[in-house]
Structure 1
């Protein structure tokens, strides 16, 4: 786009579209449930001129694609600004998908963009997108205090359950009978009430349920009663841990009548002996083992009985039905957690990560490779992994050849990334040696 034309367009917007605000994704707003979502589409293309008929270089393609992406962001902002005037309290961006492709035997680059936004009724903490920062239409608002995305409500898959929930562990002292104020024998409901919410919940079988707080603390429930707890410095596989929210807890234990922190702290010989006495199976490691002053730290411990028995396979989505209906029907038999963006996600039995928006609707699906169990110490993890199968999505399977991606929709190879466009999905596959290994799909 000509820079003068772009500047003129921005100036016109700044003077004519001021009545209604566009709030950045992640702003703390309450949605107008009576209004329909706003969905918009636009695209932009440009030719690439190569020397002596040669194919353009990757750098040339990326430069043109970058300029077109900026143009598409501006167009989306202009279109949304016009639509937003119908809503006096403004709109919030829910998701934006930009898709790049090469056309006409690598002589033209095309970038298309889709945006979904929701009208709002009020906003408490918010970041506003204007003509001066329109390129932030694809960005997410962060809280200045926590550096985490902020939301007004915690979304349960039940559309009627708009309840504010957050994890809050106030009692960090543990004993042989109690963890975080939760006593052995407490019901799941009582336990959840005491900590606000669990980070991850995994229905293991008809009798057992696993719940974690952050990435290092696991609680086991049997017949709806709290029966065991495990702490481990490396509890979960890194590929799984990286997907869930962090919640750090400095455990403390009563040693000689005083509550003393036992995690993330150097432990004396007396403290180690006291911990071993109170918690059978407690393990330790040496930090700086080969230095002059190595520090002994807690590696893991258990409370109660922590025995995972015969996990069952989680339900798997293969494209056989509408994915929102699949989540609604199978939510009790899926692993669920809060991801690093503070959104609710479900994990299926074939390594699919399903993300929901504020209205409890599916927005994206990630097809993931299997976890590595190295350095992961969660009891029963190997059995849990054994009931997970490789991903399958609309007839495409893990390690299928690249051309099988066409079973989902139209495909294009954009410099090593297999892009897929279908009626309901826009996605990108990653491949290795010509085989599909993982993917990310946005639901349109």
Structure 2
């Protein structure tokens, strides 16, 4: 006989509230200067029964969790609709977090949800959430990997004000004295104007600052002046490179009256000789070295002086103050970059990755394992990473036993993932051999 699942739950639908009072993501609404946050919670649970005492399959769990999530969304919508009636122009959703758990040896599934919204004063263009499309309150999908459901909506009352600068390199030609139109001796501000925005910026010490474009180009500034540049086919640690935004640049040089690309292309003997004659510090590699027709390509190149000296330790967040306040006070001593989805990220001195929304507010935090430096060729990288320490978070440290996660909040072991729920954070740890190695948290 096939396993059967019996879901015990009550499903209630209500359309008592005015649908036009709850606005969803993308609505162009204005908030008051002293707007009050609205925060509501809801929960729904159901039982799973399997034949002959067998453990429920993951498909059964997901089916039940999906129905419970739908129920929680409706409850959140109903509660928010009721609250919205107190405001003349309605409310807009800011953030929704849904969390799914299994309890009592896989016999009960529970889904809890929290919604944050704000009253609005006007909406030029808006899309309302109603009893017919209440699922749009989150537009989430179940994550089988992390066993949690989360969706964050960013509200920008004036989108034109908060549009971040974008990287834009127009001049690809390099010489002994300049790169991307940035001449040696340019100030940091002058250099940044040439490219729009650096992908990553690392404050090395009081005198030096490292700026990176894409994943292959590093510029060193000393006493606020551009002093050196490094290109490397493998510049950064893989674990770091995978976190930052891609921006491909095909370097070129002038050979007589011709502009010739020199990166990601097969180089002829003539071009190789021109590169060697132009740049004293240059390396090549052979692609398909043991084939009949190996291809020679540019591996690394340097101009100016590129010497990293005594990097200073970066600030580390330990939970003593609110994290937005920490970022505001310490951002000059944090690594900053654009993530793969173009969001602003800060990296602390203890391997914490802090992600911000368009309004500069913290939305999430990750605790990461130390980077492997193999095959990374950035000059000074070993010294730079030597000042990074293993992560810590509210008294929990890298490689602590799993039960130490309870120092942050309530914990549950969900299929090998240590789920954590606290007043300010909801997330999970990953562990290996009973030790905590990494984590991801959403700010509540």
Q: How high is the TM-score relative to the length of structure 2?
A: 0.84
Q: Residue 148 of structure 2 corresponds to which residue in structure 1?
A: none
Residues of 2 paired with 1:242 and 1:4: CA distance?
A: 45
Q: Residue 23 of structure 1 corresponds to which residue in structure 2?
A: 25
Residues of 2 paired with 1:312 and 1:270: CA distance?
A: 43
- Alpha-carbon distance, 1:163 to partner: 6.2
Q: Residue 425 of structure 1 corresponds to which residue in structure 2?
A: 425
Residues of 1 paired with 2:107 and 2:29: CA distance?
A: 44
Encode CA deviations 1:187-231: one digit per residue, 9 max, x unaligned: 111111111111111111111101111111111101111011111
1:77-226 to structure 2, matched below 5 A, reads 77-80=77-80, 86=87, 88=89, 91=92, 93=94, 95-117=95-117, 131-132=132-133, 134=135, 137-138=138-139, 162=162, 164-226=164-226
Q: Tell me: CA distance 1:230–1:419, structure 2 relative to 1, closer, same or farther (3 Å).
A: same
Q: Residue 411 of structure 1 corresponds to which residue in structure 2?
A: 411
Residues of 1 paired with 2:378 and 2:342: CA distance?
A: 23
Q: Residue 338 of structure 1 corresponds to which residue in structure 2?
A: 338
Residues of 1 paired with 2:29 and 2:275: CA distance?
A: 46
Task: Point out where structure 2 has 5 or more consecutive residues left out of the alignment.
Answer: 1-6, 142-152
Asked if the contact 1:72–1:113 (Cα under 8 Å) also holds between the matched residues in 2, the reply is yes
Residues of 2 paired with 1:337 and 1:118: CA distance?
A: 30
- Alpha-carbon distance, 1:321 to partner: 2.0
Q: How high is the TM-score relative to the length of structure 1?
A: 0.84
Residues of 2 paired with 1:154 and 1:384: CA distance?
A: 39
Number of equivalences: 424
Task: Point out where structure 1 has 5 or more consecutive residues left out of the alignment.
Answer: 141-148, 156-160
Q: Residue 3 of structure 2 corresponds to which residue in structure 1?
A: none
Q: Residue 146 of structure 1 corresponds to which residue in structure 2?
A: none
Residues of 2 paired with 1:35 and 1:341: CA distance?
A: 29
- Alpha-carbon distance, 1:180 to partner: 0.9
Q: How large is the RMSD of aligned CA atoms in angstroms? A: 3.4
- Alpha-carbon distance, 1:286 to partner: 2.4
Q: Residue 237 of structure 1 corresponds to which residue in structure 2?
A: 237
Encode CA deviations 1:63-111: one digit per residue, 9 max, x unaligned: 3223323433444455556666747597364x43222222344321111
- 3-state SS of paired residue (1:168): coil
Q: Tell me: CA distance 1:365–1:28, structure 2 relative to 1, closer, same or farther (3 Å).
A: farther
Encode CA deviations 1:378-428: one digit per residue, 9 max, x unaligned: 111111111111001111111111001111111111111111111111120
- 3-state SS of paired residue (1:366): strand
Q: Tell me: CA distance 1:89–1:81, structure 2 relative to 1, closer, same or farther (3 Å).
A: closer
- 3-state SS of paired residue (2:330): helix
- Whether 2:45 is the aligned partner of 1:60: answer no
- Alpha-carbon distance, 1:151 to partner: 9.9
Q: Tell me: CA distance 1:77–1:267, structure 2 relative to 1, closer, same or farther (3 Å).
A: farther
Q: Residue 44 of structure 1 corresponds to which residue in structure 2?
A: 44
